[in-house]
Amino acid sequence: MAPTNPSVISQLRQLIYYHIDNNLLKNAQFYAERLAAYDHRSAESAYLLALCHLRLGDHASAYEYAKPTGCRGTHLGCAYIFAQACLALERYKDGITALEKSRGLWGGKNSFGKHTASSRQPLPDAAAINCLLGKLYYGYDNKTKAVSCFEDALKQNPFMWDAFTTLCDMGTNLKVPNIFKMSPEMEAVLRTSSQDQLETQSQSKDSTLSTVPDQDRNRPGARPASVSDVPDPFSNVPPRSFAGGLFGTLGISQKLSESNPSLTNLPAAGGGGIGPEAMETPTGPSASIDVTVVPGRRDPGVVSAFSTEPPQAPVRKTRTIQGLGMDFSMDAPKMSRAVSTKRMQKGPEVDESAATQALRSNSLVPPAGERKRTVSGQVVPRQSSEDPGAPQRRSVRLFNQIRPTSSKSSSNVPTVGPPPGRELKKARPPISKIMRPSSSTSTVGRQVSGNRKPVDDSMDVDGKDYIPRTWQNTSIPVQKSIELDPARHEDALRSLLELFKKFGNAYYALAQFQCQDALQIYASLPRSQLETPWVLAQMGRAHYEQAAYAEAEKYYKRIRQVAPTRFEDMEIYSTILWHLKRETDLAFLAHELIDSSWKSAQAWCALGNSWSLARDHEQALRCFKRATQLDPRFAYAFTLQGHEHVANEEYDKALTSYRHGIAADKRHYNAWYGVGRVFEKLGNYEKASKHFEVASSINPTNAVLICCIGTVLEKQKQPKQALMYFTKATDLAPRSALTRFKKARALMALGEMQLALNELMILKDIAPDEAMVHFLLGRLYKSLQDKGQAVRHFTIALNLDPKASQQIKEAIESLEEDDDETSMLA
């Protein structure tokens, strides 16, 4: 077998990274397979192929390609991809083993602050791997190890939001202010990053300064070239191609790519394609320096594919006019301050000697690719019809720096004619009007106006050539990056940490079901953050947990307006509409979601709730089962499925559904509540009480769960203990009619009639149209021997609920029987 060409391998890797960064994953997978065929023993080849499969959602193939083998050795990228595939395939033990074995490669590694728009770190650092390791341990049901890994991830990078939210969802007790703060590790990384950036800037200035000729560098008033200066687009020096071909590694020497491919910087995600401007780099002192690439840093002397500078113009040909013995370009010569001032004062009448002196004073030879014309011994600039987006020449920028500054602000838009406030002296043109230079405000000898006639064809070398127009009276400024200012960078991080501390406190409060505290914190966020779908969903969820369904509905309506394509949390919205009995609104929401995506589990839950509200439980069950098929970890869909089985009195199937929900999420209190409810209906009050207590321990602020415990105790003939739970539930939800009703009933059972009357009077104001409230008041007044009030409330109950007429009539008749017995005893 012929030895593999290292250059071919390097080019294939570059192609793979290019297509991955541009999200062309099918292309990347195709080239990754070609690379694996060329270099099947390389761990890097296996990593790239597994990465493509993982991003395409093919977790099984990613698992196979990234699987550790003895011939390749340990590779951090392969281990990370393998662990991610294991998490998706629920092979938690395999993923844990792979990451633990490669700990020597990632332990202590920190890439914080090294990811920018122009640089990437292709391999994960310790924070990212600890976060993934925590998820694997949590899936493996090792909560202690999971919490430890998540804590390590947050210590290394407090912006690891996924680790924080998972800790909250696990029910871990956290001190949020201790998480979102500048840690010593972050400060050290920040200092190192700032020093590296300052060194990069200094090296960049030194390298670009060497491109300025000695005469310009020593001349008073001359400006050294900056890192943002655009190279001269008209240089005719042949450009150097990297990697010796079209698809050279961007900004990296071929020798380096072959020796250590892992150091190759990735292009920016979604960056520019491989065009001519990305294939070549201008020669010169900055381009010929041997570059040592540091991962995560952009080298100052290299032109890369993600450069923000305009593309270079094509190389120009030169023309020598016979008989004059001079090389002419399309650009005017650079002039010293004295000559340029004299020219502006005297207008277009500049003789040959002045132009010659200007050339000699600068001692600059125009690049060979430029052209200029001379008629009758006078230098005449050629008319140009240029593109305003083209870069400036070095001659224009240098001259703009030394020209006199006007007291008035000038516009960036070129103007035709003399500057405002001054009048140039008119002179008889020494040549024909066609070849006369313009008297525009440009003093660099370049024509801006597009109204001039074209130059004689005999003076053109190539009719297709044109010269890009420069921005008049402006030069390309040096853009100072905020990243180069350590103080501003640190202040920005601290302000972000303060903002995320609010988010963290609110999320943690809601995870602990402290809904009112969460609402207050979210309300303190800036207005722009409040209007985001995630915050609106969190606030709606807080109201939903408090059974304030009307308030919650407002937030979810707003979500539908600002993010109509959002499916997350729509199952909660559908449940809110179910509680509010909004049958039409719920049906419209369900069909809108289903029409948007048939593969959304939330959409099928909404449709199931719609059928449930219409009392078609069989159709609702089909929808909820479809939701669990689409997402087997969707705990709430299993719970809704169990509720429908209870409505059909299929208690065994209901228990199965609830237990599937608990298996998907152990902190899903709704499923625990469902199991307790089934056991209560079956008369097994001991098991019912245990499940209600577990649900209440998860959500200690839910009055309904506490009330359920009291109901079970009441059925077990323990009214005093039941009254304690009813009182606690009433304190948590003073406006809850159910809890107050049960409390009043327990007080009546204990003979506390006056206390029960007080509770019922409050309840009558809360629910004036509730028949049971008036029926209980009638019984209470009967016990107090107040026949008139008893008959009144029995009559109101009969009018509110005619279906219960038999029971209410029996109660009224019992009043008459009591009166008869009393009269007979008298």
Q: How confident is the model at residue 183 (pLDDT cuts 50, 70, 90)?
A: confident
pLDDT, tens only, 280-290:
333 333 333 33
Enumerate residues 6+ apart whose C-beta is below 8 A from 233.
Answer: 312, 313, 314, 390, 391, 393, 468
Q: Amino acid identity, residue 103? A: R
How many other C-beta atoms lie within 10 A of the C-beta of residue 83? 27
Does a structural domain hold residue 601? no
- Helical pair 6-21 and 43-55, crossing angle rounded to 10 deg: 20
State how far the Cα of 9 lies from the Cα of 38, in Å rounded to an integer.
Answer: 7
Give the residue from 480, 18, 481, 477 showing the smallest Cα distance to 251: 18
pLDDT tens-digit profile of 382-437? 444 444 444 555 444 444 544 444 443 443 433 434 444 444 444 444 443 333 33
How many whole angstroms separate alpha carbon 434 and alpha carbon 289? Answer: 47
Q: 4 falls in which pLDDT band (50, 70, 90)? A: low
Q: Which CATH number does the domain housing residue 157 bear? A: 1.25.40.10
The answer to whether position 62 is within a domain reads yes
Local structure of residue 159 (DSSP, 8 states): T
Tell me if 669 is assigned to some domain. no
**Mean pLDDT calculated for residue range 458-478:** 39
d(C-alpha 646, C-alpha 651), whole Å: 6
Cα–Cα dist 38/575, whole Å? 56
Beta strand segments in 175-286, E? 240-241, 280-281
Structural tokens at position 240:
């150097």
575-589 mean pLDDT: 96
Does the pLDDT at position 373 exceed 60?
no
Distances (CA, A) of 114 to 120, 123, 140: 7, 12, 33
What's the confidence (pLDDT) of residue 355? 43
Q: 22 by DSSP, 3-state: which?
A: coil
For residue 504, being part of any structural domain is answered with no
pLDDT digits (tens, 9 = 90+) for 76-97: 999 999 999 999 999 999 999 9
The helix (H) or strand (E) run that includes residue 321 is strand 319-321
- Other residues' Cβ atoms within 10 Å of the Cβ of residue 793: 26
- Top-ranked range on mean pLDDT: pick from 113-122, 466-475, 578-587: 578-587
Task: Give me the residues paired with residue 119 across strands.
Answer: 116
Q: Report pLDDT for 182.
A: 82
The DSSP bridge partners found for residue 281 are: 240
201 band by pLDDT with thresholds 50, 70 and 90? low
Do the domain assignments include residue 560? no
- Contacts (Cβ under 8 Å, ≥6 apart) of 537: 555, 556, 559, 568, 569, 572
Q: In this predicted structure, what is the pLDDT of residue 121? A: 85
Alpha helix segments (H runs only) across 90-183: 92-101, 103-106, 126-139, 143-156, 161-169
* In contact, 284 and 319? CB cutoff 8 Å: no
Which letter does DSSP use for residue 532 in this model? Answer: S
Cβ(574)–Cβ(606) under 8 Å? yes
Query: Does pLDDT of 768 surpass 60?
Result: yes
Total structural domains within the chain:
2
Instruction: Take residue 153 and report the two structure tokens written for it.
Output: 């991830």
Count of residues in the chain: 826
At 814 the pLDDT is 82
Estimate the share of the chain in helix, then strand, then coil, as percent rounded to the nearest 5.
Answer: 60, 0, 40
Q: Are 609 and 581 in contact (CB under 8 A)?
A: no
Residue with the two structure tokens 């999200």: 23
Where among 169, 190, 207 does a domain terminate?
169
The yes-or-no verdict on residue 302 having pLDDT over 60 is no
Give this prediction's pTM: 0.65
Instruction: Answer yes or no: is 814 within a domain.
Output: yes
pLDDT average, residue stretch 334-339: 40
pLDDT (0 to 100) of residue 487: 77
Is residue 143 within 8 A of residue 173, CB to CB? The reply is no
Average the pLDDT over 143-162 and give the result: 94
Tokens of 515: 């809904």
- Examine the pLDDT at 542 and tell me if it is beyond 90: yes
Lowest average pLDDT, out of 195-204, 267-276, 572-581, goes to 267-276
Query: What is the dihedral angle through the alpha carbons of 729, 731, 733, 739, rounded to the nearest 10 degrees?
Result: 40
Structural domain range at position 782: 768-825
The pLDDT value recorded for residue 733 is 87
Cα 18 to Cα 28, 30, 282, 307: the distances in Å are 8, 13, 22, 15
CA 766/CA 755 separation, integer angstroms: 17
In a domain, 95, yes or no: yes
User: Which tens digits make up the pLDDT trace of 508-528?
Assistant: 999 999 999 999 999 999 999
Residue range 243-254: mean pLDDT, rounded? 35
Helix (H, G, I), strand (E, B) or coil at 475: coil
Q: What is the pLDDT of residue 20?
A: 94
Q: What are phi and psi of 417, to 5 degrees?
A: 110, 175
The band of 181, judged by pLDDT with boundaries at 50, 70 and 90, is: confident
Tell me how far apart the alpha carbons of residues 376 and 726 are, in angstroms, rounded to a whole number: 109
Out of 34-48, 285-299, 440-454, 503-517, the most confident range is: 503-517
Lowest average pLDDT, out of 42-46, 726-730, 815-819, goes to 815-819
- Would residue 353 count as lying in a domain? no
* φ, ψ at 805 (rounded to 5°): -65, -35
Chain-centre distance for alpha carbon 308 = 23
pLDDT for 261 equals 37
Task: Answer with the one of 169, 204, 237 that is the final residue of a domain.
Answer: 169
pLDDT of residue 577: 97
Domain boundary among 169, 201, 236: 169
